[in-house]
A and B are shown apart, each in its own frame.
Chain A
């Protein structure tokens, strides 16, 4: 048995050993980042959850409790909101950190670009966690490019320990040069685990003190040009500092005989070092580790390239270092086709890149890693890949099943969250980015309506996603006369990323009370006139309601029809199912048609191939009883019904 879905940090030891000085703890990368934030004496922390960044804020909350700190911590409605709230704290002289996943930075980019010009007062650090792979994201974008785009410095850690130290340096740098600073951990740092040395906390007593300076904080375009020039000067100074720095930028191995040099960063550095160790290649290859990819320490790089016949650049995810290098004549990397243009650089991947380059340069003959006999055998087993699926008893499954049933021909515009897995039920046609469920639905409507065709369109969106970016999309749709059915999948939590509270729950990041923002009022406020709330477990009623909704959305005086399908996430709130269990069983009427497996796919249902029927795995079943409505033969029934029958 393990702890709940959120998994990190402090444990009972903290009771035994208070705020250890030279204490060592095994920390998840994101928890180490949280610790760095706390050690830096940061006053304000804001964030919107998203893999691989979600564990940072809960860990700050834990440290706050453990150490009795006065940190203000918020789960913000979205990343831009988080950014601005953190920035404001910085303008009052406090230290602030804002954390998000890499695509979250797209949402916050407007603020990032502008604040790069206006600058900061108290240290402001942006933690943007990248996801090469991608494991849990819609793109593999490299946040370091965003730092470069905005012209703010970036740090790129290789390990949790280094991430923690870099945060502290980032705060110092930010204050010294009055500029926002980006820390870019990749998923292999955020979700790495390491024994990390803790350090004492910095105590910074700072009272909020916003000094008015409209020329700067409300700069007009004319003055923006002045700010831009200043920013360039600041960057020049920072780059001089990075040139001299040996803590984040350093060489490993100074073999004069080495003809190949490698410039690398992030977790690729860690992977490479273990490989060079293993293959005993340290005298053949020198390595320059770069922890500050922007602004790039150009002189150091040029000097390193100068001392080698060829230099290979190994960096994730894109070519940020490589593209900044001025003289590329000796450089091998993505631009020369030596490094893949997409995907994560695994240790085996790096091994093979190395083998190729060493062979090309005639330095060594390193065997490439190919599929072994075992790999081939296992491939032949044709194992079904276990794709993620909605949990047994998940209310979203019930909702999707009803939607498919009521409106089988509709276009299903969906969004980002657990409910993206509605894909498996074929009730999700589009997933673009946060909030696009509604915008794509209204766009689809307009495109068809222009041709005088009104087809059914269903937008599905989770509650947290709706709070994140649903309102602007919805009021726009209402305003422009779009018509579709909006189903808000309200499980009262941000489930996918680890159960963060939403504004609908009225609990803030550290568990204290916040104001509840009722979904229904919000939807009403966007101008929607037809709003119904229902428990999706009542599949039959939901099917009926969906048909009514369709009718309303196509009526002359109708409009957008909104259904709030509300049922708590059964993982976060297991007690809800335990209160009213509906134990089901499968009767002899089951003829093994597999309809429930194919169109309902509850993981607790499995085919008994020998007997050609479907069975229930009691280890997974949570007694939600929803499958009763999923079987077209009526072969799934509540248990007590049968027991009562003989009476």
Chain B
């Protein structure tokens, strides 16, 4: 199995933590992990992007048009990183609704059979009083939709492994919340592509 994931957002949104979650997940699935992260100046509110490749790879970077999944925690960063997705790939974006997304770009995505799923992870996370958990909410959401080959139990196991003790409870809550929302919308897909 080979899976290439891009995580995009801005400094402070927990991209590196999300990257850790996926790499531990890969390890649990018995896969080789290769990837790349942004550290340094950009962590002060600049664009932060993590490449994660599960399976046999040598290069730490994902090429344009090669990613299976894009998680974007910020709208503008989505536009900047869509190029990584392959035809038939899927993008989960932290956004209230796909209606907000640029229409002409949506058209191109449709041509390439790229699915776009928008979910207001920040809003959901603030409901449980932890806006910084939006990253986990969005990941939970993606698993809930059933569109990615990741098991809820595995994700939970990994979160228990990598969360700091004081964050664990809220992280699990965020995961559950996102997951249920994902499940709900997949039963009733409404507007996606």
Q: Which residues of A approach B to under 8 Å, CB–CB?
A: 1-3, 5, 7, 11-13, 24-26, 28, 51-52, 54-55, 135-136, 158-159, 188-189, 191-195, 267, 269-271, 273-275, 346-348, 351, 369, 372-375, 377-378, 381, 383-391, 418, 421, 496-498, 603, 619
In the assembled complex, B187 has its CB within 8 A of some CB on chain A: no
- Cβ contacts under 8 Å, A13 to chain B: 161
Question: A12-B161, A267-B60 known; A136 and B40 CB under 8 Å?
Answer: yes
CB pairs A–B below 8 angstroms (9 shown): A1-B133, A1-B171, A7-B20, A195-B26, A195-B31, A274-B57, A377-B105, A381-B79, A387-B46
Chain B 27-61 residues near chain A, CB threshold 8 A: 27, 31-47, 52, 57-61
In the assembled complex, B83 has its CB within 8 A of some CB on chain A: yes
- Cβ contacts under 8 Å, A273 to chain B: 58-59
Q: Which residues of B approach A to under 8 Å, CB–CB?
A: 10-11, 14, 16-20, 23-24, 26-27, 31-47, 52, 57-61, 63-65, 76-77, 79-80, 82-83, 102, 104-105, 108, 112, 122, 126, 130-133, 135-136, 161-164, 167, 170-171, 174
Which residue of the partner chain, among B18, B35, B59, B64, contacts A193 with CB atoms under 8 Å?
B35
Closest to A158 in B: B58
- Cβ contacts under 8 Å, B64 to chain A: 348, 369, 372
Least Cβ–Cβ distance between A617 and chain B, in angstroms:
10
- Cβ contacts under 8 Å, B63 to chain A: 274, 347-348, 351
Least Cβ–Cβ distance between B83 and chain A, in angstroms:
6
Closest to B122 in A: A619
- Cβ contacts under 8 Å, B59 to chain A: 267, 270-271, 273-275, 347
Query: Is A135 a contact partner of B82 (Cβ separation < 8 A)?
Result: no
Which residue of the partner chain, among A51, A269, A373, contacts B108 with CB atoms under 8 Å?
A373
Query: Is A191 a contact partner of B133 (Cβ separation < 8 A)?
Result: no
Whole-angstrom CA separation of A274 from B174 in the bound complex: 36
Whole-angstrom CA separation of A345 from B53 in the bound complex: 19
Query: Is A386 a contact partner of B79 (Cβ separation < 8 A)?
Result: no
Whole-angstrom CA separation of A20 from B71 in the bound complex: 33
- Cβ contacts under 8 Å, B46 to chain A: 386-389
- Cβ contacts under 8 Å, A5 to chain B: 43
- Cβ contacts under 8 Å, A498 to chain B: 39
Least Cβ–Cβ distance between A298 and chain B, in angstroms:
27
Query: Is B10 a contact partner of A386 (Cβ separation < 8 A)?
Result: yes
Closest to B35 in A: A193
Whole-angstrom CA separation of A194 from B59 in the bound complex: 10
Whole-angstrom CA separation of A270 from B63 in the bound complex: 13
- Cβ contacts under 8 Å, B164 to chain A: 3
Question: A28-B37, A378-B82, A386-B10 known; A193 and B19 CB under 8 Å?
Answer: yes
Whole-angstrom CA separation of A377 from B80 in the bound complex: 11
Query: Is A378 a contact partner of B105 (Cβ separation < 8 A)?
Result: yes
Query: Is B80 a contact partner of A1 (Cβ separation < 8 A)?
Result: no
Which residue of the partner chain, among B43, B102, B112, B132, contacts A1 with CB atoms under 8 Å?
B132
- Cβ contacts under 8 Å, B44 to chain A: 388-391, 418, 421, 496
Question: A270-B58, A347-B61, A388-B42 known; A191 and B135 CB under 8 Å?
Answer: no
Question: A1-B17, A383-B79, A386-B47 known; A192 and B105 CB under 8 Å?
Answer: no
Least Cβ–Cβ distance between A3 and chain B, in angstroms:
6
- Cβ contacts under 8 Å, A348 to chain B: 63-64
Which residue of the partner chain, among B34, B130, B170, contacts A192 with CB atoms under 8 Å?
B34
Least Cβ–Cβ distance between A382 and chain B, in angstroms:
10
Which residue of the partner chain, among B24, B104, B133, contacts A377 with CB atoms under 8 Å?
B104
Least Cβ–Cβ distance between A300 and chain B, in angstroms:
22
Least Cβ–Cβ distance between A629 and chain B, in angstroms:
22
Query: Is B17 a contact partner of A3 (Cβ separation < 8 A)?
Result: yes
Query: Is B131 a contact partner of A391 (Cβ separation < 8 A)?
Result: no
Query: Is B58 a contact partner of A274 (Cβ separation < 8 A)?
Result: yes
Whole-angstrom CA separation of A381 from B77 in the bound complex: 12
Which of A136, A188, A386 has the most C-beta atoms of chain B within 10 angstroms of its own C-beta?
A386
- Cβ contacts under 8 Å, B79 to chain A: 378, 381, 383
Whole-angstrom CA separation of A518 from B169 in the bound complex: 41
Whole-angstrom CA separation of A270 from B105 in the bound complex: 33
Query: Is A26 a contact partner of B27 (Cβ separation < 8 A)?
Result: yes
Whole-angstrom CA separation of A369 from B130 in the bound complex: 42
Whole-angstrom CA separation of A200 from B63 in the bound complex: 35
- Cβ contacts under 8 Å, B65 to chain A: 372
Whole-angstrom CA separation of A387 from B132 in the bound complex: 21
- Cβ contacts under 8 Å, A496 to chain B: 40-41, 44
Least Cβ–Cβ distance between A599 and chain B, in angstroms:
18
Whole-angstrom CA separation of A270 from B32 in the bound complex: 15
Whole-angstrom CA separation of A11 from B105 in the bound complex: 41
Query: Is B76 a contact partner of A386 (Cβ separation < 8 A)?
Result: yes
Query: Is A193 a contact partner of B39 (Cβ separation < 8 A)?
Result: no
Question: A7-B16, A347-B61 known; A194 and B33 CB under 8 Å?
Answer: yes
Whole-angstrom CA separation of A135 from B48 in the bound complex: 12
